[in-house]
Amino acid sequence: MAPPLLNLDGIKLTFGGAPLLDGASLSVEAGDRVALVGRNGSGKSTLLKIAAGMVEAQDGVVFRQPTATIRYLPQLPDMDGFANVREYVESGLGPADDPHRATYLLEHLGLTGDEQPANLSGGEARRAALARVMAPQPDILLLDEPTNHLDLSVIEWLEEELARGQSALIVISHDRRFLERVSKSTVWLDRGQTRRMDRGFAHFEEWRDQILEEEEREQHKLGRQIVREEHWLRYGVTARRKRNMRRLGELHAMRQKFRSHRGAEGTAVLAASDASESGKLVIEAKEISKSFGESVIVDRFSTRIQRGDRVGFVGPNGVGKTTLLKMLTGVLKPDSGTVRLGVNLEIATLDQKRESVDPSETLANFLTDGRGENLVVNGEQRHVVSYMKDFLFRPEQARTPVRELSGGERARLILARMLSRPANLLVLDEPTNDLDMETLDLLQELVAGFPGTVLLVSHDRDFLDRTVTSVIAPDGNGRWVEYAGGYSDMLAQRGSKKLEVREAKRGSAGAQTARAEAPKAASKKLSFKQKFVLDNLPGKMEALSAAISTLEDKMADPAFYERDPKGFAQTIAMLDKERASLAAMEEEWLELEMLREELEG
């Protein structure tokens, strides 16, 4: 049996306090495709750096096959000292590597190689770093969040390129669908130790839950065993002293094991601060356009966003998603057309750059804006340490500088600050970057259940499918089209027409715009979203009418009030609510039906 290309065994590392890595192991053979998963701050990036030889473990065995080549993709690539991107990419090649491979990767990643490192956007820097580590076609690729800041088309290309390659992979990523498509085995780093499953990430959550349930049962059994032994010590029949001392020693060992057990990491509590309800109409845009020089970013786009809508924006980096979002929220004025915002809007924004955070500022100071030890959340004053716990920060981290946080912890901190502000309109620009799976699950639940309105820019296909009610995507030459449903629904409606991968340079700052095929002539008909709503409203109204009839039958019982006064009051409130919902649906259906007749008349 051939030895592994890379083997880490019994790795230990502590930065003060509890060990970050406490006996972690990681083994990679030729052809392996490993997803390395774990909570933010659990030590995934550190373990990957130990594998790459960039960090030295305090204890444990590190074996690298002497002839194996290893390339590591950092979260923040360092391009200092390189004149342009091509020079940076080619610096990763060895004497025997094919220089044409660098040109091939640059072209497919939308780069010319002449770009100046200082002028690169986050997405461009990530693509350049990918080209550098993939160009030598190494034996092992260590990829730390490779999809961050990449648009959907590049992510899909990367999946195909990695599948074609011969390199063994260890990948850290928050992108579920990416991990499902590239991984064949999964390593879970939890509380300093690793567990391995020889199946891809698609099976991870079921496997993890089984492990945690079994662990909880074992801990419960240990607790009961300790109780039995303590009872024996107090009341049991006296045996030989030697046997008694042995059992007493075993009891002390069990107690120590029970006390030292580190339970599974807690779950973050994500909840947006309540604001008063906005009007039914949130945003109405009519024929808005925006250009920068000769580049048309938005060309005569119209939409109507109502309370409760969750709208996703997709497209290549630089195509204008953020520009369109800023116009719709009133931050940026369109060159032509009008944008009307609804009444009583309170907007909370998470921008792509994650605000400018002072790395020397403490977590508590950042959350309270330097206004003492308390902040107001949902109208209730809370101590900053209590609020931090909701987002899985420890009390002792209150005085920790932001620079000490991992990328995922920093993302969680900024999310905590945004959600403390009252809002009925959430504007989220790439909210999933750097978040761990568990926090992503909670963010998904927050967005899907948010009673207000959500505008969401994301390259995470799984997140989009689980949260949004419609998707706005570019259709070339500044045209944007709205599709009902999530990302997969959008692809089905577009048919064979996909988001363009290739991008052309726009402007000296390195901004880019997608070159999509010429648009078809606009036809006078309902949008996909309007048609979807019109087709589905009758079924919803019929179901609601049936529910109202059931409630009315319940109210017709003369003994209902005497039997259950509280239930009677709740039923009345529910009946009023359902009747109001039915009236709103009927009004919306009538408006759409009249519009359809007018357009088709």
Place of tokens 């999509």: 516
Q: Is the pLDDT of residue 299 over 80?
A: yes
pLDDT tens for 314-359 read 988 778 888 999 999 999 999 999 999 988 888 888 765 555 577 8
User: Which residues 6+ apart lie within 8 Å of 445 measured at CB?
Assistant: 270
Q: Nearest 5 degrees, angle CA 471-CA 476-CA 481?
A: 25
Two domains, one topology: 6-206 and 266-346+422-522:
yes
For the 266-346+422-522 domain, the top CATH level (class) is alpha beta
Question: What DSSP character marks residue 270?
Answer: -
The binding site for ATP consists of 38-45, 315-322
CA dihedral over 408, 411, 417, 422, signed as positive or negative: negative
Per-residue pLDDT, averaged over 448-463, amounts to 88
Residue 64: the pLDDT is 94
Q: What topology does CATH give the domain 6-206?
A: Rossmann fold (3.40.50)
From CA 45, how far away is CA 15, in angstroms rounded?
A: 14
The half-sphere exposure of 203 on its side-chain side, counting CA atoms within 13 A, is: 13
pLDDT tens for 581-600 read 877 787 777 777 777 766 76
Distances (CA, A) of 11 to 24, 173, 187, 197: 5, 22, 14, 19
Residue extents of the structural domains in the chain:
6-206, 266-346+422-522, 356-421, 528-600
Q: Is the pLDDT of residue 126 over 60?
A: yes
Residue 502: the pLDDT is 35
User: Which residues 6+ apart lie within 8 Å of 386 measured at CB?
Assistant: none
Residue 446: the pLDDT is 79
What is the b/e burial string over 20-53, where b = at least 16 CB atoms within 10 angstroms of the residue's CB? Answer: bbbebbbbbbeebbbbbbbbbbbbbbbbbbbbbe
pLDDT tens for 135-190 read 999 999 999 999 888 888 889 999 999 999 999 999 999 888 999 999 999 999 98
For the beta sheet containing 70-73, the strands, ordered from the edge strand earlier in sequence to the opposite edge, are 70-73, 140-144, 168-172, 33-37, 185-190, 193-197
Residue 104 falls in which region: left (phi positive, over 0), alpha (psi -120 to 50) or beta = alpha
User: Which residues 6+ apart lie within 8 Å of 388 measured at CB?
Assistant: 363, 364, 367, 394, 395, 397, 398, 416
Q: Which two tokens stand for residue 255?
A: 């107690």
* Cβ 388 vs Cβ 364: under 8 Å: yes
From CA 125, how far away is CA 584, in angstroms rounded?
A: 48
CATH number for the region 528-600 comes to 1.10.287
Indicate the angle between helix axes 122-134 and 99-108, nearest 10 degrees: 150
For residue 375, which amino acid is it?
L
The binding site consists of 38-45, 315-322
Estimate the share of the chain in helix, then strand, then coil, as percent rounded to the nearest 5: 40, 20, 35
Partners of 37 in the beta sheet? 188
